[in-house]
Amino acid sequence: MKLLLCLCLAFALTLAQDHHGQKDDHHGHHGDHHGGANLIDCCKGVEMDAATENEEGIPYFFKGQFLYKGFSGKAELSNESFAELDDHHHLGHVDAAFRMHFKDDPTHHNRIFFFLDNKVFAYYQHKLEEGYPKDISEVFPGIPDHLDAAVECPEPDCDEDSVIFFKEDEIYHFNIKDKKVHEKTFKNMPNCTVAFRFLDHYYCFHGHKFSKFDPKTGEVHGKYPKETRDYFVRCPKFSDDSDHLERERCSHVHLDAITSDDAGNIYAFRGHHFIREDPDKNMTVDTIENAFKELHSDVDAVFSYQDHLYMIKDDQIYVYRVGEPHTHLDGYPKPVKEELGIEGPIEAAFVCADHHIVHIIKDEHMYEVDMSVTPRVVKAQVPLSLLKKVDAAMCGPQGVTVVVGNHFYRFASPMIFVAGRMMPRQHRVSRELLGCDH
Ligand SMILES: *[C@@H]1O[C@H](CO)[C@@H](O)[C@H](O)[C@H]1NC(C)=O
Ligand SMILES: *[C@@H]1O[C@H](CO)[C@@H](O)[C@H](O)[C@H]1NC(C)=O
Ligand SMILES: *[C@@H]1O[C@H](CO)[C@@H](O)[C@H](O)[C@H]1NC(C)=O
């Protein structure tokens, strides 16, 4: 369940693509793959140049000559996907980008526009459109060169289908239909270096911070700016003034593990922190180091069984007796193979109340191990029918909760989870599981 340590701008997506490959990304860093070009450590706070979604809704982030696609956080050279951006070396890097997707404009629908210096490039499925690059002033009359940021704003988010351009503290609403510019003043809005529409929200990145804004008025509601790395990047440390509980509830970064203990407390683990929700729905956050010192951080799977938390990290298992404080049992950690009869690492594990069976998810299968007999051995193995990868899972009065990326699914029983034919309704982890209020 571990993602790589520093997923550079690791956006969690609603999309299926989001679930592929992330667990394979144990490389940790992505430098040195490209002729010695040095990549930035995203956890030190990174300033992107531009961002847009592609035609399938996968976020693309640009920094210098690099492109970060979606959630994998792996950098590649942007000219590998958009070759012609390189033919005009003097133009430099991408200043701004957006995806045109307005239903009433079939000629430009689903084009991705890039702005470099005084030129605009339009791509459709990674192919440069005929006649491009063109001068910005030709395609978007009234819009200046050397932009800072751009974002699409379809109806009804904006009064009419528009593109919002940013340059220093000037903001231009470009109306797609009449090709007229309406200059607006967005009071209190920072100078955006990146503007990005994601899951129906509008984000302005400025430095290594971001604010969510109303595209009609430029108003920023709620407590912003926030640190980009706190919400979009998996980092071992956060900024000193980070609100840990708020961040852990609302982060876009995927969970590592989740479990509920016999008393009805829920524990959700991510990186170095975990949230505990007690039966009264009171939530607290703590570091793993503080409560589970031996484990330190980055757990793969956790299940609870008879007042103990079984915590799996790589091929080792740690066992804690639940209490204040939790106590680590003597003789642990042990190899997962020795304790459970199955090789670690695993993706997720859970026990349903009062049962002795631990259900282990690994390599597209669910394995069953009976905790009441020793030595413990795998007694059943069933392929997963609906989900290929699982980040975390737990079992409770509401059945089996399975977390994949930013979403979770509920199944009435472990058997329905493995053998079901219909995907159940998708829920958002942040809002519906962790109580994030925005
Ligand atoms: C992309 O850019 C790199 C570095 O500037 C260069 O070595 C490579 O040949 C380029 N690739 C393409 C497909 O243009
Ligand atoms: C925003 O841009 C304007 C114009 O360049 C500049 O005067 C102002 O200081 C900038 N504001 C911030 C917060 O950087
Ligand atoms: C929630 O738990 C914390 C820590 O145990 C406690 O300080 C706080 O008062 C509790 N809040 C509520 C609303 O019960």
Give 350-387 pLDDT, tens digit per residue. 999 878 999 999 999 999 999 999 999 999 999 999 99
* CA distances, 79 to each of 25, 26, 63, 250 (Å): 22, 25, 12, 34
Ligand 3 pocket check for 107: Cβ under 6 Å? no
Write out the CATH class of domain 244-433.
Answer: mainly beta
246-293: per-residue pLDDT in tens?
888 888 778 999 999 888 899 999 988 999 999 999 999 999 999 999
| Pairing mode of beta strands 334-335, 96-100 | unpaired
| Cα 433 to ligand 3 centre (Å) | 19
Could you count the other beta carbons within 10 Å of the beta carbon of residue 374?
9
| Cα 191 to ligand 2 centre (Å) | 6
Question: 0.85 cut: is pTM over it?
Answer: no
pLDDT at 282: 93
Give the residue whose CA is nearest to atom 8 of ligand 1: 79
CATH 2.110.10.10 domain span(s) along the chain: 3-231, 244-433
Nearest CA to 152 out of 93, 110, 121, 212 is that of 110
- Whether domain 3-231 has CATH 2.110.10.10: the reply is yes
| Cα 427 to ligand 3 centre (Å) | 27
- Per DSSP, 370 falls in state E
State the Cα torsion 159-150-131-67 to the nearest 10°. -140
Q: Which pair of tokens denotes residue 290? A: 């503080």
pLDDT bucket at 44, cuts 50 / 70 / 90: low
182-200: per-residue pLDDT in tens?
888 787 788 999 999 987 7
Q: How remote is the C-alpha of 297 from its chain's centroid?
A: 19
What is the rounded average pLDDT of the residues 133-138? 96
Closest-lying ligand to the alpha carbon of 186? Answer: 2
Could you count the other beta carbons within 10 Å of the beta carbon of residue 28?
9
